Structure 1
């Protein structure tokens, strides 16, 4: 048998062991690359979905904040809004039936997890009920009213810090300052409680989350008349 026929016989015999091993290794590498690509795509979809869910949840919370302020009412001998550095309390119209009275709502950062929570009272029909609910909101904000937490409290998310500022006298001021003290001859009576022209909310969202960071939201009183120059 000559050399040419020997080479032809070897070709027809199939792949050698080395060639099979090389091909197997190449296929393994290609499979690994493909798997990593699919894994990266899946992670991207998951992160995108988490970001979308967090954005929708945050939007719902901020919408509720705006609604509470939009429905804020100033009634005789009833405080419309109060910020004590821990919680904000708001007297607002009832969302279900405007004719059924008002409610007191409170927002506070509470618990060991730093959760931002919202509490609301039952519908209130007179000043005595309002005064009781106003006090309950203050007690709740400090975590001393556990019996009513489950029924009236909504967990809104986790924050590390939050602050409020009022727009008064053409400037953003600390609500705990005396800027609301009226000058002589211009003081509203108890029949017309003071309501800030605007409220600025600054909230620090906790990490790790896709929307971690500082959010600033300004609210303007709907009945505020524009200033003419």
Structure 2
């Protein structure tokens, strides 16, 4: 009986470990959490609001992400764009100089446990929307994406992460992460750089400067393996897209 007691107590622990990392993934890479920004303003004052499926429980657009543009004087809706797919979560929006709104949409993580053969997910996408029309959508390389960040030379920066079990039956770990730099070409996008950041849960990019560089991009990563942290890494990406790793301890 003692052996069975161990199994009974171990199995809930595995479930809780998988669930807690899944929730962590939602908070970092897609699911809106308390305090996350869902509003942006354009150069002309237009207010852009992202509404997530959790806020849209009724009507024909049930379960879909929606982007609204509001007049800053009257607060009336100028236009709106509604995502066709259901059960995705949107990042905070950012607005380009020409009024294009960029946002990422990521998987909700609301599916079976990692050892369930039916478990599957969709890759995240970076969307470019202008005047209520989708200009282009770029499919990223993982189901979770950070909010986009506007960089110099019209570039758009984003990080991605993927999750999956280390071995059956889990627990979950971040299998890989990437940094991407893209350019808006009007009706499509071009990838300027794609960097492999390794097995880390990564932050959204931050554009900054260094004494010897006009601009750099900072990303932080938390190492994961069997559910235990392996330390913090600061990734520094230069204008030539060379990658420097700094261990922070």
- Scaled by the length of structure 2, the TM-score of the pair is 0.28
Return the structure number with greater strand share: 2
- Scaled by the length of structure 1, the TM-score of the pair is 0.30
Return the structure number with greater helix share: 1
Higher relative contact order (CA 8 A, sep 6+): 1
Of structures 1 and 2, the larger Rg is shown by 1
